[in-house]
Amino acid sequence: MDRKPNPPRDSRDFRGGRDERDRRDQRSGGGRPSPGSRPAPAPAPVPAAVAKSGVPHGATESGWLPDCVYTGGNFETGLAFFADTLGRLTRFSREPADLAMARRLDGQAALPGLVNTHSHAFQRALRGRTEPRGREALERLLVRMTGEDVFDTARITFLEMLLSGVTCVGEFHYLHHQPDGSPWPDANHLSREIIRAAHDVGIRIALLKVAYARGDFRGDAGSAPARFRLASAEQFVRETEVLRVAVEKDFPADEAWLGIGAHSLATMPLDAFKSIAAYARTQRMRLHAHVSTTAEENAACLAEYGRTPVALLAEHGLVDKRFTAIDAIHLGEDEVKLLGSARAAVCVCPIAEHSLGLGVAPVEKLAAAGAGISFGSDRNLQIDLLKDARMLEYSLRTRGQPRSTFAADAATALFQAATFTGARSLGATGGALEVGRPADFFTVNLSDPSIAGSEPDALLANIVFAAERRAIRDVWVGARQRIANGRHALQGPMVGRFIDAQRRIWGP
Ligand SMILES: [Zn+2]
C-alpha cells in the first residue's frame, strides 16, 4: 500500500517557496556544482560511508526501513520510504516486497532533518572567549581571521550542525572584507567560501547576504566595523546580483541559494534597508533582520524614527510572508499582530539569547497570531536545536503565567518549528518527510540511554525534551548519507584544520 502522509499545516505557504526553487532548478539545469570562486581543491576520494546509499549502485531508487519514521505528525512502524536519484521522496510503502528491498535501519527512528534558520558561523571561533562578554576577543578575531580561517571555521560549524541532525542552515553572513577592512578583489569572496564550506560538508545552505552600514542608531554612514561595512546599498545590490547569478549557475537550486539580510535597524538606516528589501522582493528572496533584540534598541528606534522596529518596517511595507524577524524579544501587542497577520516568521535563538541575558520572545502570542516560529543557533556557542527548543519551552513556563507553554502539544509544536517552519523561513524544500520533498532526515539510536524504552506515542516528546546529541546516529541529505554512526567521513581533517586556524587566530 502506498501511503501519502497528511500535509503539515501551512503547506500552502510552503508551496510558493518550492515552486520558486523548482523553476530555478529547471533554469539552471539542476547540474552538479563547480563551487567556489577560487580553484576547487582536488576532489577527495569518496569514503565508503558517504558512497553508501539506501540501495546498491545502479538502482534508480533508494529506500529505508527504520523501526519507525516520523511522518504526517506521527511515528509510523512497518513503513518504508523511497527516494529517486535526485534525492526526492517518491513514495511510502508497507508492501512486503518493498519492506524487503529497503535498507533496514535497525534500532533507529527516522525524523525529518532539522532546519537552523539563523547562524553566524564565524563566531564559532569565539567559543569559550565570550563568557560573559567578549568585545576584545571579537576585535582580535576581526583583525586576525583570514579567508582560509573563515572557511575552516564555517566548515566545522556546519559539520557540528550535521552531527546534531541539522540538514539545512540559514547563514546570516555579514563578515565581508579582508582583515584590514578593505574589500577582496572579488567582493563576494567570503560569501563563496561559506557556500563552499557548506558544500564540502554536505549541508543545504541559504546564504543570507547581510548589509551592515553603521555602528548604531543615528550613527554616521560607514561607522560599522570595517570588515562588515557596506559601501552603499546600490553597490551591495550589484554585488549580490553577481553572486546570485553565480550560485544559481553552480548549484542545484535547493542545495545553495541566496537570501537577503539587513543586520538591524540600528545598523541599517531605513532608506538603505528599503533599497535592499526592494531588491529582495524583485528576486522573490527571503528577507531576514534582527529586530527588537533589546529594550534600548526599541527606545533608540523610537527616537530616530518615531516608531519601534516592527511597526516601522510594517509601515513601509517590509513585513510580509517572506520576512523573518530574528530575536523579536521586545514586541508590543500591535507588533505581535502585525507579524502574525502578515504570516511573517520569527526566529528565536534561545541558547544565544540566554547567554546574553536578553529574555524571551512572546512566541506563544506570536504563534497564536499566525506568525511562524523557527530556531537559530546564532553565535554557535552550542549547536543543538533540540536543546534550543526545550530551553524556549522552559523559559516560557518560567516567565509566563502559571501553565504558560508554547502549545498544548509542546513537543509537536516545537519540532514543527525546528523543521517545517524553519524551512519556510528560508525558502527551503525540506522540513517534513513527505512525497515530493527531499530525503533529508536523521536517525536516533533507540537504545541510547537518554531515550531508551520510549513507546512510539511518547517518542517525539522524549526526543525533543531529553535526547542527548550523541543519540543522533545517521544523517542523510538528499538521500546521501553524510553522517554514519555519529561521524562524518571527513571529520578528522576538518577538525584538524580548525584547530590550526584557532592556533593562528589566538596564538602569539
Ligand atoms: Zn544573530
Query: Can you give the three-state secondary structure of 200-246, one letter per residue?
Result: HHCCEEEEEEEECCCCCCCCCCCCCCCCCCCCCHHHHHHHHHHHHHH
What's the CA-to-centroid distance between 118 and ligand 1, angstroms?
6
Q: How far is the CA of 480 from the centre of ligand 1 (A)?
A: 30
At residue 133 the predicted structure's pLDDT band, cuts being 50, 70 and 90, is confident
Pairing of strands 323-327, 287-291: parallel
Type of residue at 410: A
Cα 469 to ligand 1 centre (Å)? 23
pLDDT at 273: 97
Residue 79 grid coordinates = 513503513
Cα distance between residue 385 and residue 446, in whole Å: 19
Calculate how far, in angstroms, residue 6's C-alpha sits from the geometric centre of ligand 1: 34
Q: How far is the CA of 266 from the centre of ligand 1 (A)?
A: 13
Residue 111 CA to residue 462 CA, distance in Å, equals 13
* Ligand 1 geometric centre to CA of 379 (Å): 7
d(CA 308, CA 57): 57
Q: How far is the CA of 347 from the centre of ligand 1 (A)?
A: 9
Say yes or no to pLDDT of 61 above 60.
Answer: yes
329 Cα: distance to centroid of ligand 1 (angstroms) = 12
Q: Does residue 51 surpass a pLDDT of 60?
A: no
Measured in Å, residue 119 CA sits from the centre of ligand 1 at 7
Cα-to-centroid distance, 348 and ligand 1 (Å): 9
Report the separation in Å between the CA atom of 120 and the middle of ligand 1, taken as the mean of its atom positions: 7
- Measure the CA angle with vertex 139, ends 261 and 148; round to 5°: 70
What CA–CA distance (Å, rounded) separates 335 from 51?
A: 49
What is the Å distance from ligand 1's center to 212 Cα? Answer: 13
How far is it between the farthest Cα atoms of the chain?
Answer: 69
CA distances, 129 to each of 137, 139, 356 (Å): 6, 12, 13
Give per-residue pLDDT as tens, 246-281. 999 999 999 999 999 999 999 999 999 999 999 999
Q: What value does the mean pLDDT of the chain take?
A: 89
- pLDDT tens digits, one per residue of 278-326: 999 999 999 999 999 999 999 999 999 999 999 999 999 999 999 999 9
CA distance 483 to 201: 10
| Confidence bin at 93 (pLDDT 50/70/90) | very high
Percent of all residues in the chain with a pLDDT value above 70, rounded to a whole number: 88
What is the Rg, in whole angstroms, of the alpha carbon atoms belonging to the chain? 22
The top-scoring range by mean pLDDT among 5-9, 17-21, 134-138 is 134-138
Cβ atoms 155, 497 nearer than 8 A: yes
> Count of residues for the chain?
508
Q: Can you tell me the mean pLDDT for 463-474?
A: 97
Centroid of ligand 1 to alpha carbon of 327 (angstroms): 8
C-beta of residue 502 within 8 angstroms of C-beta of residue 223? no
Q: What are the structural domains of the chain?
A: 11-112+433-493 (2.30.40.10), 114-426 (3.20.20.140)
Q: What's the distance, Cα to Cα, between the start and end of the chain in Å? A: 65
Q: What is the DSSP letter of 177?
A: S
pLDDT of residue 408: 86
Centre of ligand 1 from the C-alpha of residue 326, in Å: 7
Nearest 10 degrees: Cα torsion 188, 193, 199, 204: -60
The yes-or-no verdict on residue 42 having pLDDT over 70 is no
Q: From ligand 1's centre to the CA of 68, what distance in Å?
A: 35
